[in-house]
Amino acid sequence: MPTINDVAKAAGVSPSTVSYVLSGRRPISAETRARVQAAIAELGFHPHAGARALASSKTNVIALVAPLRVDVNVPVIMQFATAVVTAARSYNHDVLLLTKDEGTAGLERVAHSTMVDALIVMDLERDDVRIPALRKLKQPSVLIGLPADHTGIACVDLDFGAAAREALAHLAGHGHQRIGLVGPSPAVYKRQTTYADRFLTGFLEASAEFGRRTVTHPCEPGAEGVRSCMADLDAELDGLTALVVHNEEALRPLLDLLHATGRRVPEDISVVAICPRDVATMMPISLTSIDIPAHDVGTLAVETAMRLLDGRRVEYTRLLAPGLVERDSCGEISTSHR
Amino acid sequence: MPTINDVAKAAGVSPSTVSYVLSGRRPISAETRARVQAAIAELGFHPHAGARALASSKTNVIALVAPLRVDVNVPVIMQFATAVVTAARSYNHDVLLLTKDEGTAGLERVAHSTMVDALIVMDLERDDVRIPALRKLKQPSVLIGLPADHTGIACVDLDFGAAAREALAHLAGHGHQRIGLVGPSPAVYKRQTTYADRFLTGFLEASAEFGRRTVTHPCEPGAEGVRSCMADLDAELDGLTALVVHNEEALRPLLDLLHATGRRVPEDISVVAICPRDVATMMPISLTSIDIPAHDVGTLAVETAMRLLDGRRVEYTRLLAPGLVERDSCGEISTSHR
DNA sequence: GCCGATCGTCGAAGCGCTTCGACGATGGCG
DNA sequence: CGCCATCGTCGAAGCGCTTCGACGATCGGC
């Protein structure tokens, strides 16, 4: 492995000149630069990352803390990860992958030992223990999610409140008066991942705003969970003509159940789902849905981290506007029925 | 951030002594060690990763090259990643996440700049361009998969040939004479990911060995793909009583189709799937399946990398034995029908 | 009781890079 | 025409750690 000294000799310049060619931090004449670059290419020189980090106190690596449990949200998590890695590369950074299970210790380890310049943390709970830990680090962090007390830490997420409102607005616009919300599983509420609450709150507010009668219920996983959730919804408010489903894994069994019980979508009942685009389109009937814009969120998180790193101003709370895409699962209630 | 010098002063020893306490490479008296450790704890000292890498030429980081495209295999990929990260941590290593799209350049970048000690590469194609690139690196690599020419590179994977044989053996043991293989989508064959061929070859060999009549067909994604695949299989060999399904995403529509066409599982037709355990159990009928042991493969890959790193012998091709788990999708053909 | 081996510790030399200050050479300006 | 600012380059210091050789002290063997 050639070093910067080898390059310097080959080009007939000093090592510092090579460094300046590389970093562009000082003016270098065109000829010199050309000679240096030729030498670099010829020798196949690649600066040693450790040496660089030591001398410059920059690693060009960011940490991504992901929940690597193997559960339903895997595809979404993967989309986040993909977006983060891709975006990071576009800023010439690499990504160190940490798991959520390492908890606070993992963050501290990589931060204290100066392995990373910044951290991006996913899957935050309402009162996440990692928040205080992150605050103590010298590296900046960006959260994907919105924990309770996030003062001083940048957060990026979908605006779940607005998403709920938009779903309801869409259904209200189609004339629906009685609308049910199939929520996430109780486990999600218990885990206190805040998007569940934010969605629910938004949903209730929008119900009032649009003057619609609504019911909401969490939904246990599996066909049985869906059955009992629907039973509860129907019991609490009869004449439901529309459902908002904020539960990816319930989608399939829910559609099966509706089919089995002779409720046609969208003729008898309309459905708006909150889920990734491809999940919506791969259902037996293509669902009108609000996408979880994992790609945008991930990219924005990295962008925010980069701004933080070079001391630029950032907005500390960025909630992305939801986008509803109409497909085949929502029908109009004719005025005569209203 | 305290440095090793600060610790040394606080403990009243030289920096090298602190280093030896940390590494254990030289004997240190119990008292000295205690004093040093106390100083480390008190100051909250964490060695600087870059400095360490520079001085020792070890980074304690391994690269994981994952296909971050968002497609059907996401859950399996995630399981690999989880296993790799977890195993790496148990060897006190971290994981740098690279995407397959960066191709050869990504590998070379992290290797040449000494960011990692070893590489683990997933999703290899038959004549993967990355193989020659990997050979040129000074860091060892471990492949998850089995490309054509892998001499000199360690490979770990499920033994797909044996898996096919086991699936067939199971069905043959239940008396089935006419068996169809629902293969991966043509795209998989085109991409030349070798597991498809290995499975197919194993399937054909086992057909001969057990003297069973079989047909095989790739299967396009979606309900339509499944329909036409089944039509082809039925056309080429009538009286099918069993299916081997080596196509995770076809599973659901296939079961729907069988149901819709009045073929009961397992009474009329038996099914063995090759897929992750949870996919098999979450189907409407719990499927007899051969698991993709992503966890074991990932763990073994890391273990192999670690052996390589400290110069121990490794087996260069490790194909893990498949394990079939009986569930509810296979029925016995009574002798009278044979 | 003396010698060589072993133990426990230290000091110094790097590892490969960045960066700061310095310095000769230009060039613009009054 | 002389002076100061700027340009282009160099040299050296240092980032924080590991590791090698050295060296006094201890200990067992004869």
Answer whether residue B305 shows pLDDT above 70. Answer: yes
Torsion of CA A98, A102, A105, A111, to 10 degrees: 0
Chain B interface mutation, best of A3, A4, A6, A46, highest count of B Cβ atoms under 10 Å: A46
Among the partner-chain residues A75, A95, A115, the one whose CB lies closest to the CB of B74 is A75
The reply to whether residue A78 touches residue B82, judged by beta carbons under 8 angstroms, is no
pLDDT tens by residue, chain A, 338 residues: 999 999 999 999 999 999 999 999 999 999 999 999 999 999 999 999 999 999 999 999 999 999 987 666 788 899 999 999 999 999 999 999 999 999 999 999 999 999 999 999 999 999 999 999 999 999 999 999 999 999 999 999 999 999 999 999 999 999 999 999 999 988 877 777 788 999 999 999 999 999 999 999 999 988 889 999 999 999 999 999 999 999 988 998 899 899 999 999 999 999 999 998 888 988 889 999 999 999 999 999 999 999 999 899 999 999 999 999 999 999 988 654 44
Q: What is the pLDDT, as a whole number, of residue B255? A: 92
In chain B, what residues touch A69 (CB-CB under 8 Å)? 82
| Number of residues that this document lists for chain A | 338
Structure token pair of residue A119: 């951290």
Position B336 scores a pLDDT of 44
DSSP A153: S
Give the distance from residue B320's alpha carbon to the nearest chain A alpha carbon, in angstroms: 22
| Interface of chain B toward chain A, CB-CB under 8 angstroms | 1, 44, 46-54, 59, 61, 64, 68-70, 74-75, 77-79, 81-82, 85-86, 89, 94-99, 102, 109-110, 112-115, 138, 222-223, 278, 282
Question: Residue B47 above 70 pLDDT?
Answer: yes
Residue B330 makes CB contacts below 8 A (sequence gap 6+) with B170, B171, B174, B242, B266, B270, B271, B272, B288
Judged by CB atoms closer than 8 Å, whether chains meet at A50 and B47 is answered as no
Q: Which nucleotide is nearest to B22 (CA to C1')?
A: D18
Closest CA to B83 of B110, B137, B122: B122
- How many C-beta atoms surround the C-beta of residue A333 within 10 A? 16
Q: Which nucleotides of D are covered by protein (CB under 7 A)?
A: 7-12, 14-21
Helix (H, G, I), strand (E, B) or coil at A296: helix
Side by side, which strands form the sheet with B242-245?
B213-217, B178-182, B242-245, B270-274, B288-290, B324-325
As a whole number of angstroms, the distance between CA B181 and CA B233 comes to 8
CA B252 to CA B106: how far, in whole Å? 37
Q: Which residues of chain A lie closer than 8 angstroms to B93, CB-CB?
A: none
Distance in Å from C20's C1' to B179's CA comes to: 77
Q: Report yes or no: B185 and B220 within 8 Å, Cβ to Cβ.
A: yes
pLDDT band at residue B338 under the 50/70/90 scheme: very low
Task: Take residue A224 and report the two structure tokens written for it.
Answer: 């049985």
Find the CB nearest A54 among B54, B109, B110.
B54
Q: Within 7 Å: CB of A49 and strand D? A: no
Contacts of A217 (CB under 8 A, 6+ apart): A180, A181, A182, A183, A229, A232, A233, A236
Q: How far apart are CA A284 and CA A260, in angstroms?
A: 13
Cα gap A283→A275, rounded to integer Å: 11
Among candidate residues B227, B62, B142, B301, the one with its CA nearest the CA of residue A97: B62
What mean pLDDT, rounded, does chain B reach? Answer: 93
